[in-house]
Chains A and B, each alone.
Chain A
Amino acid sequence: MRALVSAHLTAARAAWPAGPTSADSLLAAVQQVTDAFAEGFERAQRQAVRQEEAARREFIDDLLYGRSDLGRLAERAERFGLRLSHAHAVAVAEGPTAYEEGDPVPRQVERALISRFGDRSILLTTKDGRLLCIAPGPQDEVLAHFAKQAHAATDGGRVAIGRPQPGPGGVVHSYEEALNALELAERLELEDPVLRAADLLVYPVLTRDRQAMAELVLATLGPLTTARGGAQPLLDTLTAYFDSGCVAAEAARRLTLSVRALTYRLERIHKLTGANPADPAHRYMLQTAVIGARLLDWPAEEL
């Protein structure tokens, strides 16, 4: 713009008539011309910014959809500072409300990350109301910092971090891992504010064969439904018992029961299911079935 204004003034000086003339009307004309020209120029710039934002949004949607032409995707990614030939990991934060790009919460997180890491090939955005951070695979500190900031900015929202995955399809892979981790945390009522997909690899193994898991749950825990008060209190007892490392006193404390009451419940479970929670040989089956029940939302949902 500076060069363009200067060009207009130079041309005006060159065209300035030699004879006596009104400098005022000529300057007024120059002013009108440069003003109109600048107006057109600014409109073009605003349009370019809007186009750039639309292109970025479209790129991000394609990147996270995972079905577009991967070669072309990698080419476009370079414009936004991502080298898709390298591994990338994605962190996803879910708050009490949905966020959109440009909202105060995402901008707060973005400022915190940029002030700490500069512009280090990090892509921050939103998708389906969640905050997303895409960072090069080896830079774990970026996603860890994002998790911390996003957890605080979303008023205690939950954050999941996918594993680093290579190649143009790596981003969507890591993104889906993070989403699955969030869903799992919701189902299992995990309390950790930050979940790592790498720590949760056992769950896909348990959920992949739904039929087999349903059979295990029904065969192992089915008899608990005949207990007075239903299966739920006994399931909660087992969860607390396994979560406390099979220490009855600790499990009783968590459930605010007396140790006697807890021991009585464990005996009921043993009697009804035929499996003894305190016996290592039975414990693995019971614990897997209890996790399966939570994953399948049993007994609330019929299997």
Chain B
Amino acid sequence: MTELEIPEEYLAGYAQILAEVAATGRRLSREELTSRRALGNRRLTPATDCAPWSAPI
């Protein structure tokens, strides 16, 4: 996987949500919104916690 590619996990469950919305026309549940927010928040946190370049060479 190259760096520019967006890892699949940022979209985890996304297709499922869209499929359900398409079938029922409903809006997103609170849990679904929370899960999206958490995915967005994940974006930077792991990188600063365990950046490979911070390890002694």
- Report if A25-B25 is in contact (Cβ < 8 Å); known contacts: A4-B10, A15-B15, A47-B45: yes
Chain A residue numbers with a CB within 8 Å of B44 are: 41, 44-45, 47-48
Binding site of B, secondary structure by majority: helix, strand, loop or mixed? Answer: helix
- A40 contacts B11, C-beta separation under 8 Å: no
Residues of chain A lying within 8 A (CB to CB) of residue B50: none
- Which B residues, 1 to 46, have Cβ-Cβ distances below 8 Å to chain A? 4, 6, 10-11, 14-15, 17-19, 21-23, 25-28, 32-34, 36-45
Contacts of A14 in B (CB 8 A): 15
| Interface band, chain A | 20 to 34
Partner of B37, one of A16, A29, A40: A40
Q: How many A-B residue pairs have CB under 8 A?
A: 98
**A257 lies within 8 A of chain B by Cβ:** no
Contact B41 A44 (CB under 8 A): yes
Residues of chain A contacted by B48 (CB below 8 angstroms): 48, 51
B22 touching A21 by the CB < 8 A rule? yes
Contact A37-B37, Cβ < 8 Å, known A4-B43, A44-B42, A47-B44: yes
Q: Are B36 and A11 interface neighbours, CB within 8 A?
A: no
A–B Cβ pairs within 8 angstroms, 16 of them: A4-B10, A7-B10, A11-B18, A15-B15, A15-B22, A25-B25, A28-B27, A33-B14, A33-B28, A33-B32, A40-B38, A40-B40, A42-B40, A43-B37, A43-B40, A51-B48
20 extra interface residue pairs, beta carbon distance < 8 Å, beyond A11-B14, A12-B18 = A4-B6, A11-B11, A11-B15, A15-B19, A16-B18, A25-B27, A26-B18, A33-B17, A36-B33, A36-B34, A36-B36, A37-B36, A37-B39, A38-B40, A39-B37, A40-B37, A40-B39, A40-B42, A44-B43, A48-B45
Residues of chain B touching chain A, judged by Cβ–Cβ distance below 8 Å, are 4, 6, 10-11, 14-15, 17-19, 21-23, 25-28, 32-34, 36-45, 48, 56
Residues of chain A touching chain B, judged by Cβ–Cβ distance below 8 Å, are: 3-4, 7-8, 11-12, 14-17, 21-22, 25-26, 28-30, 32-33, 36-45, 47-48, 51, 75
